[in-house]
Amino acid sequence: MADSTDKTDLPQHTRRNILDTMEIDTRLLGMIGAFVIICVVFDVWTGGRFLTPRNIFNLTIQTVSVAIMATGMVFVIVTRHIDLSVGALLATCSAIMAITQTAILPNMLGIELGSSLIAPITIVVGIIVGTLIGAFQGWLIGYLTIPAFIVTLGGLFVWRNVAWHMSAGQTVGPLDPTFLSLGGTSGTLGATGSWILGVLAAGFVLYLLINARRSKVAHDFPVKPMWAELIIAGCTTGAILGFVWILNSYQIPAGRLAREFAAAGKEMPEGYTEVYGVPYSVLILIVIALVMTIVAQRTRLGRYIFATGGNPEAAELSGINIRFLTVKIFAIVGFLCAISAVVASARLTYHTNDIGTLDELRVIAAAVIGGTALSGGFGTIYGAILGALIMQSLQSGMAMVGVEAPYQNIVVGIVLVLAVYVDIVYRKRTGD
Amino acid sequence: MPLDTQNVTQDRGTPLVEMRNIRLSFGGIHAVDDVSIELYPGEVHGVLGHNGAGKSCLMKVLSGAYKKDSGDILINGEKADIQNPRDARNYNIECIYQTLALADNLDAASNLFLGRELVTPMGLVNDGKMEAETRKIMKRLNPNFQRFHSPVSALSGGQRQSVAISRAVYFNAKILIMDEPTAALGVEETQMVANLIEELKSQGLGILLIDHDVHQVKALCDRASVMKNGKLVGTVKVDEVTEDDILGMIILGKNPEKGMA
């Protein structure tokens, strides 16, 4: 509401510096920078053992389970809630799926062990259970207005021990081979599949960039200069293809290949090699990251989640049903816990009692390191995934240089607090 | 504004809104106690009273933020069922709250369309279209507004106000509730709001204006209802009473001898 002397249409926005011109999220840049520094430091420290295809492959598959749940935790924290039960919920889902595939399906329903039906049915059962438990907790929080901290703290005790009860405290296994292929090393896309995936992903990124620019031009909005677009396109597609190239450089050990040939009753040809490529579990994470990002940025659900986090009262006055929204958010987290349970138990090849222990704290830390504000309203999916990756690289890096686990935890704790402090300073400086 | 009060009171047709015997209480405290007011098309109706007199509560009953305990709301002579803000919006009731009710972390367009997002055929929110529409309405309401990509927390008080107002105006409100729309504004911006109220009034909207400033009410409103302790003191035609008369109603709860509507 000011005087109307300025009649010009869309006055040019002044570009302050090169980053502003390229419209790059400086927080993202900071996180990538931190990640790169961690990698380089540990690589030097370990004498080049950190940045090998083998270690990067392991790092990736170790990150997946926490990263999947962290994408859901973003929604929870953005709406000013917290979920302390994700690790326990993962354990319950894992126990149910382990029992389903080793006992219920073969013994009660007569589906033979090794049948191709076992893995899909098991996963569907796990997802239903996870989603229902999540929705139930969301109902307690949204409709009965019990604080999320209490509901999920209770959930932490309940679901951890429900899992113990169901498996009678025992380790359950061996799990179905198809199911195991979702854990990491035993299920990868191979060289060709990985390259196809990489090219498709790079093409998709280019499509998004072109589409965004076209849409801006169509509405007569200012666009960034072409060279800026080209640099961004080059960096992202380069990163995608580089990642595929690294994973494609990790060769499956000859001993393991020989065993596989022997199992198939064939002789392994001389000099035969094969590479891992992108694991299925990473593919799952990519799909989830994509879907969750679309939900966050391009759907009404996502808009309402962020609006509620910014100002719950305003959201309610705009006609948003906040109670049901809370149910939906916690149901999403429950769903993601089930997916993580698939990946985690398949990676371990067993359901164990302590699966997912302390994961709730890792997941919250990943989201928070990734820039999700506990005061609500701010957070990104890619940030949470990067946060999970940063924490995992810190831990495995320290393990490689021989830091004992308790000291690792001390460092991770300090990094968490420091990351949030840096974020607070950043927000004050930029004013948003 | 040169209004023919005589004409307005005698042949006004069906009221746009009629609130009859509205009651609202919170744990034994009667926030609104048997209050009836009506609003006609093209009328600016002031609602006055001390803090805690119940004016905002009465308005929030109409906007769906609070559920009334008893009483009726009639829109164009027909009983309306308003249970929540969405219902109120369906009756073309828009409200500019004193707190503005903005999600501070979102940009202007997201706030303008909150709860009523424009979507693409695929059902995804259409940010480009929403920004274009926001730019269009802002050009009319506040041509200096340029910060379309900043979260509204980064905007000045006047700019935030214009986002809240544009939200009410964009969706073709028939009934507009303004809760102290100029409280946080400077002189110039207050004049802009006054001009806007005139413009909307001439388009036939009914406006309920909550205000503390008696002078402003005299200048902008056709009629004014005064509340005290949850009860309606009375409704007057503002051109037939003095500012002191209105102050007497607010402070003493005493109706003037003439000018009652």
Percentage of chain A beyond pLDDT 70 is: 95
How far, rounded to the nearest angstrom, does the alpha carbon of residue A204 sit from its chain's CA centroid? 20
Asked whether the predicted pLDDT for residue A229 surpasses 80, the reply is: yes
CA distance B241 to chain A (A): 31
Q: What is the DSSP letter of B100?
A: T
Q: What is the mean pLDDT of chain A?
A: 90
Q: Indicate the residue of A10, A216, A310 with minimum beta-carbon distance to B103.
A: A310
- Three-state SS for B228? strand
Q: What is the pLDDT of residue B141?
A: 84
- List, for residues A169-189, the tens digit of each pLDDT value: 999 989 999 999 998 888 889
Q: What is the pLDDT of residue A187?
A: 87
Q: Which B residues in the span 37-66 are in contact with A, Cβ-Cβ below 8 Å?
A: 63, 65
The order of strands in the sheet holding B29-39 is B29-39, B17-26, B70-75, B78-79
Asked whether the predicted pLDDT for residue A219 surpasses 90, the reply is: no
What are chain B's domains? 1-92+173-261 (3.40.50.300), 107-172 (no CATH)
Q: What is the DSSP letter of A269?
A: P
Q: What is the pLDDT of residue A9?
A: 42
Q: ipTM score of the complex?
A: 0.87
CB-based contact (8 Å) between A296 and chain B? Answer: no
Q: What is the pLDDT of residue A11?
A: 44
- List, for residues A304-339, the tens digit of each pLDDT value: 999 999 999 999 999 999 999 999 999 999 999 999
Judged by CB atoms closer than 8 Å, whether chains meet at B128 and A215 is answered as yes
Instruction: Tell me the pLDDT band of A15, cut-offs 50, 70 and 90.
Output: low
Q: Indicate the residue of A2, A315, A318 with minimum beta-carbon distance to B188.
A: A2
Percentage of chain B beyond pLDDT 70 is: 95
Judged by CB atoms closer than 8 Å, whether chains meet at B99 and A313 is answered as yes
Q: What is the DSSP letter of A111?
A: P
* Mean pLDDT across A190-204: 93
Please list every residue in chain A whose beta carbon sits closer than 8 Å to the beta carbon of residue B99: 313-314
Judged by CB atoms closer than 8 Å, whether chains meet at B106 and A215 is answered as no
Q: Which of B84, B94, B105 to mutate to test the interface with A (most CBs of A within 10 A)?
A: B105
Size of chain B in residues: 261
| A379: region left, alpha or beta (phi > 0 left; psi from -120 to 50 alpha) | left
Judged by CB atoms closer than 8 Å, whether chains meet at A315 and B95 is answered as no
Phi/psi of residue A341, nearest 5 degrees: -65, -40
Q: Indicate the residue of B106, B127, B188 with minimum beta-carbon distance to A306.
A: B106
- List, for residues A254-284, the tens digit of each pLDDT value: 888 888 888 888 888 888 888 899 999 999 9
Q: What is the pLDDT of residue B3?
A: 45
Please list every residue in chain B whose beta carbon sits closer than 8 Å to the beta carbon of residue A311: 101-105
- Three-state SS for B208? strand
**Structural contact between residues A379 and A77, judged by C-beta atoms closer than 8 angstroms:** yes
Measured at the alpha carbon of residue B219, what is the angle toward residues B259 and B88, in degrees to the nearest 5? 85
Tokens of A184: 């990491």
CB-based contact (8 Å) between A2 and chain B? Answer: yes
Instruction: Tell me the pLDDT band of A14, cut-offs 50, 70 and 90.
Output: low
* Mean pLDDT across A395-400: 93
CA distance A52 to chain B (A): 41
Q: What is the pLDDT of residue B145?
A: 87
Please list every residue in chain A whose beta carbon sits closer than 8 Å to the beta carbon of residue B146: 11, 13
Asked whether the predicted pLDDT for residue A253 surpasses 90, the reply is: no
Given the structure tokens 């969750």, which residue do they identify?
A: A292
- List, for residues B194-208, the tens digit of each pLDDT value: 888 998 999 889 999
Percentage of chain A beyond pLDDT 90 is: 69
How far, rounded to the nearest angstrom, does the alpha carbon of residue A343 sit from its chain's CA centroid? 12
Instruction: Tell me the pLDDT band of B39, cut-offs 50, 70 and 90.
Output: very high
Cite the DSSP H helix spans in B99-148: 108-112, 127-141
How buried is A136 (Cβ within 10 angstroms: 0-12 exposed, 13-18 middle, 19+ buried)? middle
Q: What is the pLDDT of residue A2?
A: 42
Judged by CB atoms closer than 8 Å, whether chains meet at A303 and B117 is answered as yes
Please list every residue in chain A whose beta carbon sits closer than 8 Å to the beta carbon of residue B162: 1
Closest-CA residue of B relative to A6 is B144
Q: What is the pLDDT of residue A166?
A: 94
Q: Indicate the residue of B105, B125, B193 with minimum beta-carbon distance to A309.
A: B105
Measured at the alpha carbon of residue A271, what is the angle toward residues A265 and A274, in degrees to the nearest 5? 75
Number of A to B CB contacts under 8 A, please give it: 117
Q: What does the alpha-carbon distance between residue A133 and residue A137 come to, in Å, rounded to a whole number?
A: 6
Asked whether the predicted pLDDT for residue A218 surpasses 60, the reply is: yes
CA distance A6 to chain B (A): 6
Please list every residue in chain A whose beta carbon sits closer than 8 Å to the beta carbon of residue B135: 10
User: Which one of A143-152, A366-375, B122-131 scores highest in mean pLDDT?
Assistant: A143-152
| A34: region left, alpha or beta (phi > 0 left; psi from -120 to 50 alpha) | alpha
CB-based contact (8 Å) between A224 and chain B? Answer: no
Q: Which A residues in the span 357-396 are in contact with B, Cβ-Cβ below 8 Å?
A: 377-378
Helix (H), strand (E) at residue B78: strand B78-79
Measured at the alpha carbon of residue B260, what is the angle toward residues B254 and B261, in degrees to the nearest 5? 135
- List, for residues B220-249, the tens digit of each pLDDT value: 999 999 999 999 999 999 999 998 999 999
Tokens of A66: 């926490």
- Parallel, antiparallel or unpaired: strands B17-26 and B70-75: antiparallel
Asked whether the predicted pLDDT for residue B9 surpasses 70, the reply is: no
* Mean pLDDT across B56-62: 93
Judged by CB atoms closer than 8 Å, whether chains meet at A299 and B95 is answered as no
